[in-house]
Amino acid sequence: MTLSHLSSAPSRSKLLWLLISGTILALVALLSQQRTLIIADDLIQDFTIASQQHALTGKVIIVAIDDDSIATFGRWPWRRSLHAELLNRISEQHPAAIGLDILFSEADLQHPEDDQLLAAAMEKSGVVILPVVFSETGRLQHVQVPHPLLSRHAAGMGHVHIKVDYDGVVRSIHMQQDADGKHHPHFSQATLDAANHPGVATPSPKTQTQLIPYAGNAGYFPRISYRDVIEGRIPDDVFKDKLVLVGATATGIGDQYATPVSRDGQLMPGVEILANILESQLSGHLLTPASPWQNILLNLTFVALALLGFMLLSPLWALLLSFSLLLLLLLVTYIIALSCGILLAPSAGGLGLMLIYPLWSWHRLDTAARFLASEFESFKREFPMLSTPLHNTAFNDFLDRRINALHEATSQLQGMHRFISDSVNGLPDPTLVCDPHGIIRIANQAAARYFGVHSTAILLQQPLIPLVSDIHEHQANQPVINAQLLQAPVEIEVEARDGKQRELLIKFAPCKDASGHHIGWILSIIDVSKLWQAERDRDEAFRFITHDIRAPLSSIISLVELQKLTPDKIEERWLGMIEKHADNALALADDFVQLTRAKSGHYQLNDINLEDLLHEAIDDAWIQAYSRDITIALTDAPPEVHARVDRTLFKRAIANLLSNAIKFSPDHATITCSIAAEGQYWSIAVKDSGIGISPEAQSQLFQSFSRIHQQSHPHIEGTGLGLAFVHAVAARHQGEVRVTSVPGAGSTFHLLVPIQQ
């Protein structure tokens, strides 16, 4: 696959998603404005209204023409004189207003005096409101108003028209109704005007439609039976300063309606609907339907947030986001209705939120399928070993074929990764493969051994820079690999040394893909300590041959040539000198051979009692010590002092320490030897009372041909290889040699070897 194809695929995917997003936003805006999803909006609004039940102000009371009253006073309609008596009894307690929800559109021809009685009662009360009823015949609308006699004595009139929605539910009212060229306010507004009660919230006359914020379900408002009022069975002052609504609740004579708060099919009488409207205006709990632009703004905001989240989040989080935004949309609708009195229509936004995920899933699935197909074809072209036949997919659908192709490619790539990992693991030198940021992806067993871990898995996913921070260049003494180096894909090859003083050759090279992009690093750590040691050994051998062994041999040759000048006489001092130089040359050659064997020879390790070995070394040194009257003392040792050592080489190392102690001790001195446990080691200590060693000289003490006392004490002879031999033997036994010394106060050498378990 070309680079241009790779870069254009994401662009096409983003362009398609932007097109889908624009389509969803346009659809949501259109549905929000047209209220097409009216059924879903009404369900949400009904739930919102029903869940906002609130306490009553206590200023509205219903006088119900109930079943008991019908049973007492007979069939409906009743005589108007009975209504006049009701008004008189209610008016005695001085109510704020009386809403008489009974239509008196014609004169009472059977009892004409009853109209006079009712008109007089209304005039005496002064706060009685009568209803105006609208009826429709086709497109014609008729207005039924009260009888003129009663109208003249009413404090006000208002329409009681109930607006029933398409599903038979009463949700809203018209606060003003126009008919016959007149403006008729709602019955509740006329009641409030008649009451002229302080604190009554009168709505703006410009508000044509108002949702009914029901305070509760049917029966929530206090009711007093019509019969109880007529018979005087009511508490005193129950109607004082109240808004009294008189209406029918009895079965068969009253109008009953379904409302958003109806439960189990329970209907609400029209008079109680009037009570809810009146209560909402008294308490200020008004609800108005949101304007189209408010619905558009709400729905587009939530849908836009979802579209943005789907561009940034994973599929699971995107799904959770869509559900969360849907719940939050409903919650915001509820809160705004509760706090601001605006009832929003969120169904268009909810539909948009539900559409986003399947469209986004289709888009991502289609994009992924096309990408996988093209990538697999590209792999087959660039890597022929991946072109193995696929499984039979003749009866699989499009997605299954893509999944099978991906499965084949994944299996073969895993095999290739295994092949690469095994190849890297088989390399003898520590090798690490990292990503461009220096995170280790592949490591071999040699690398695990070098860094002191038991498994290569421990190295994987680790940052490279902290791991190799102790590897420094020889000259600059700075870390070979740092953060700046990772920024520039440049190959380096340098000599370095790590924290364990191992000599290394570091090769750090960038990896690139087929397009030339930097995709990682390969680090190779080659331990050249043995090579450098061999180089130093070669230099030492060359020095030994050209200098140290040459000097005594040259002296011998000179003495022989001098003897040729006087062949008849051989002086003893010349023979002594020849013998001395020959002994020095022999001792030097022997020490060099032993040092070479100690460094590179084969060790035969056996379980040896170190106390016995120390006794033997002391016995061998007795003649040298006796000639100068030097005493070698061995302090008490532990009962079992065993270690796995090469008997010959380890005994010679102890002998070298004793020989040095004798050479540097004064006559008649005492040398103390001891064996003690020191952690996981046996420590063989040789303490003399000689000239001591300065701290500066101690750092060169174990180097080959090091004769640190040659200037200060030239009479003390030595080859400079004895302590180098001791150091080499200790190192090959996984031990070490230490020295503690004070100039003029003697020295103590400690030869440590692991304790045999």
pLDDT for the residue numbered 244: 93
Is the sign of the CA dihedral 82, 85, 89, 95 positive or negative?
Answer: positive
What would the two tokens of residue 82 be? Answer: 């009975």
- Among residues 210, 260, 294, 262, the alpha carbon closest in space to that of 35 is found at 294
> Measured between alpha carbons, how far is 719 from 703 in angstroms, rounded to an integer?
12
pLDDT for the residue numbered 716: 55
| 317 and 357 Cβ atoms separated by less than 8 Å | no
pLDDT for the residue numbered 700: 63
Neighbouring-strand partners of residue 510: 521
| 595 and 537 Cβ atoms separated by less than 8 Å | no
pLDDT for the residue numbered 214: 86
Q: What is the mean pLDDT of each run of 10 residues along the chain (757 residues)?
A: 48 78 86 76 80 84 90 88 90 91 86 88 90 72 83 88 83 79 83 69 53 85 91 88 90 83 82 88 81 87 88 83 89 85 84 85 76 69 55 58 70 73 80 90 88 87 89 81 84 85 86 81 84 63 54 62 58 59 59 60 82 88 88 83 88 88 88 90 89 72 58 52 82 87 85 85
What would the two tokens of residue 325 be? Answer: 């935004």
3-state class (DSSP) for residue 654? helix
Neighbouring-strand partners of residue 737: 751
- Among residues 178, 146, 154, the alpha carbon closest in space to that of 99 is found at 154
DSSP 671-732: EEEEEEEETTEEEEEEE--SS---HHHHTTTTSTT--TTTTT-TTS---S-HHHHHHHHHHH
What would the two tokens of residue 255 be? Answer: 């109008």
pLDDT for the residue numbered 549: 57
Q: Is 725 left (phi over 0), alpha (psi -120 to 50) or beta?
A: alpha
Cα distances from 129 to residues 62, 156, 163, 325, 715, in angstroms, run: 14, 5, 21, 49, 141
How many other C-beta atoms can be found within 10 angstroms of the C-beta atom of residue 446? 20
For 458, which DSSP code?
G
Phi and psi at 92, nearest 5°, equal -60, -25
Contacts of 175 (CB under 8 A, 6+ apart): 185, 186, 189, 203, 205, 207, 208, 209, 210
